[in-house]
């Protein structure tokens, strides 16, 4: 067999060996097993609250992705769209998601061979007394030794060019496990992006309802102040006419001053709530003044029904549970990556190029250089470093499993708290509504009896104070009902799908 035939045969034989080894390769480490979180049959089974606080939930209808549209508030819908488009927090989460996808591409690139080109032209000179001229002294060149050393030490230009390729056989699944971990990281960042969208939508709705509640309280305070001002004028006229003494007038003025003292704090609270919204939308203070102006209609719209769907779907839609599940998958894949480092690694490499110190003969076939063959890296002793890394990854996987379990338990605790608080607030609002009606009638009766002289002015003040306080309490409770509703949507992980107001094409933002 000639040398040329041997050259053609050996690479082919090597390719057969490589394919055989690659096909027999296996990925070490545990496989990712998707956990199945526990879930109750209904929304009231897993509850620590009293039976009277169990909310009525619609099981047949899943939550809307644009749940805030159930309030029929165009201002809130516009704010949601602006927030999705301009929120700095959401942009940060989106960039992290994009980074995870790029990182996955970087890891997956390890599967393919790496090919590179190189070229150089270097001017160099060897030392006359260096290691390269030691051979001349060893062979005893005699009187020509000095001339030969000078000749070898003369400067020359070395021309080199060629390409090289290398490929690591993924015998133990190091690359495949790395890709699994990268895919899990993408899933985790996608879940965190969904969590950022959800948190943003809930924060916008919650701050918006708090702002509207404060504005209703401001309007109510203005009405109460105007009514007290009128009553003070009436009492002052009666005092001047000699019908009453100053005691009743001063008592009414004290009530008037007490109510007016609360008014600046309400105005400051309104500004703080508006600033929270501007921050969420990435705007400067005061930029949303026109959008957030008080509504002309002071009535409260009815609350939407609690359409939550089946409890078993919560684990599939809560972003924090999906993020914890992805973190567990990534930690499991990292164990395989660490275990693969315990075994030998084989690299296939090949090089071909030209090398010559004569520029005119650089491209001649005789100036060619080449090499081909595998290289083996066998870890023998590293003071237990690789095994320690494996143990560390196993402990991190156990921690991720515990974190996942805790996340699921925390989810159901938040859901139970949110539903119980919402039901309690509903019952409180109903009783406060009755209190307002009864306190209003009592106030009217006290005024009439005071006019008839059957009761003193203290009874009027007491009934008046009770009536005004019950009205403020009712408005605050109605506002809390809306924020409790938002909390429930966040607790069950309602997905977010923002549509521009007035659009019918279902364009996502």
Separate counts of helices (H) and strands (E) for the chain: 11, 4
The answer for residues whose C-beta is within 8 angstroms of residue 311's C-beta and 6 or more apart is: 39, 40, 41, 42, 43
Whole-number pLDDT of residue 3? 41
Question: Is 447 in contact with 454 (CB distance < 8 Å)?
Answer: no
155 CB burial (10 A radius; 0-12, 13-18, 19+): exposed
- Residue 500, pLDDT above cutoff 90: no
At 327, the pLDDT band (50, 70, 90 cuts) reads very high
Question: Is 80 in contact with 498 (CB distance < 8 Å)?
Answer: yes
pTM of the model: 0.79
Which has more pLDDT, 238 or 355? 355
Tell me the fold of 22-112+172-343+388-491: Outer membrane efflux proteins (OEP) (1.20.1600)
- Residue 400, pLDDT above cutoff 60: yes
Question: Is 17 in contact with 374 (CB distance < 8 Å)?
Answer: no
The domain spans of the chain are: 22-112+172-343+388-491
Whole-number pLDDT of residue 298? 67
Q: How far apart are CA 298 and CA 483, in angstroms?
A: 18
CB pairs under 8 A, 24+ apart, for 453-462? 457/247, 457/248, 457/251, 457/252, 458/251, 461/251, 461/252, 461/255
The answer for residues whose C-beta is within 8 angstroms of residue 232's C-beta and 6 or more apart is: 249, 252, 253, 256
> Quick one: tokens of 157?
């230009």
Stretch 362-374: mean pLDDT, rounded? Answer: 86
Q: How far is CA 378 from CA 219, 341, 343, 435, in A?
A: 79, 10, 7, 82
Whole-number pLDDT of residue 70? 85
At 382, the pLDDT band (50, 70, 90 cuts) reads confident
Whole-number pLDDT of residue 6? 37
- Residue 307, pLDDT above cutoff 90: no
At 60, the pLDDT band (50, 70, 90 cuts) reads low
- Residue 178, pLDDT above cutoff 80: yes
> Quick one: tokens of 309?
């769907």
Sign of CA dihedral 230, 232, 235, 241: negative
Which has more pLDDT, 408 or 499? 408
Q: What are phi and psi of 160, to 5 degrees?
A: -140, 140
């Amino acid at each position: 067999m000639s040398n040329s035939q041997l050259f053609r045969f050996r690479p082919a034989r090597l390719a057969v060996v490589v394919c055989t080894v690659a096909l027999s390769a296996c990925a070490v480490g545990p496989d990712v097993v998707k956990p199945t979180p526990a879930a109750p049959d209904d929304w009231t089974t897993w509850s620590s609250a009293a039976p009277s606080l169990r909310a009525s939930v619609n099981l047949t209808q899943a939550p809307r992705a644009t749940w805030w549209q159930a309030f029929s508030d165009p201002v809130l819908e516009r704010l949601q769209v602006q927030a999705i488009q301009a929120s700095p927090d959401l942009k940060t989460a989106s960039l992290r998601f994009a980074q995870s996808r790029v990182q996955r591409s970087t890891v997956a690139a390890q599967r393919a061979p790496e090919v590179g080109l190189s070229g150089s032209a270097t001017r160099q000179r060897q030392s006359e007394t260096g290691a390269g001229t030691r051979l001349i002294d060893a062979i005893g060149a005699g009187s020509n030794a000095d001339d030969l050393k000078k000749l070898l030490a003369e400067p020359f230009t070395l021309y080199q060019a060629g390409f090289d390729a290398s490929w690591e056989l993924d015998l133990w699944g190091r690359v495949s496990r790395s890709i699994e971990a990268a895919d899990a990281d993408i899933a985790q960042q996608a879940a965190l992006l969904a969590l950022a969208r959800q948190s943003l939508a809930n924060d916008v709705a919650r701050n918006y309802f708090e702002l509207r509640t404060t504005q209703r309280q401001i309007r109510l305070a203005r009405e109460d102040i105007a009514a007290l001002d009128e009553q003070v004028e009436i009492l002052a006229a009666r005092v001047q006419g000699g019908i009453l003494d100053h005691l009743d007038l001063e008592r009414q003025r004290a009530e008037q001053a007490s109510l007016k003292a609360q008014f600046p704090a309400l105005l400051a609270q309104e500004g703080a709530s508006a600033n929270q919204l501007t921050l969420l939308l990435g705007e400067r203070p005061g930029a949303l003044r026109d959008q957030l102006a008080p509504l002309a209609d002071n009535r409260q719209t009815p609350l939407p029904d609690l359409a939550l769907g089946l409890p078993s779907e919560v684990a599939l839609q809560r972003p924090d549970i999906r993020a914890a599940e992805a973190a567990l998958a990534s930690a499991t894949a990292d164990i395989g990556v660490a275990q693969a480092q315990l075994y030998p690694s084989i690299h296939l490499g090949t090089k071909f190029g030209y090398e010559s110190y004569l520029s005119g003969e650089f491209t001649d076939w005789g100036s060619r250089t080449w090499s081909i063959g595998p290289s083996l890296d066998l870890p023998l002793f590293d003071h237990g470093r690789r095994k320690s890394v494996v143990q560390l990854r196993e402990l991190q996987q156990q921690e991720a499993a515990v974190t996942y379990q805790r996340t699921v338990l925390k989810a159901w605790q938040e859901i139970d708290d949110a539903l119980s608080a919402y039901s309690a607030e509903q019952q409180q609002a109903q009783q406060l509504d009755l209190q307002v009606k009864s306190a209003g009638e009592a106030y009217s009766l006290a005024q009439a009896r005071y006019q008839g002289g059957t009761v003193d002015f203290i009874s009027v003040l007491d009934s008046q104070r009770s009536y005004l306080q019950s009205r403020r309490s009712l408005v605050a409770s109605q506002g809390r009902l809306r924020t409790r509703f938002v909390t429930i949507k966040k607790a069950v992980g309602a997905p977010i799908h923002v549509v521009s107001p007035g659009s019918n094409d279902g364009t996502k933002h």
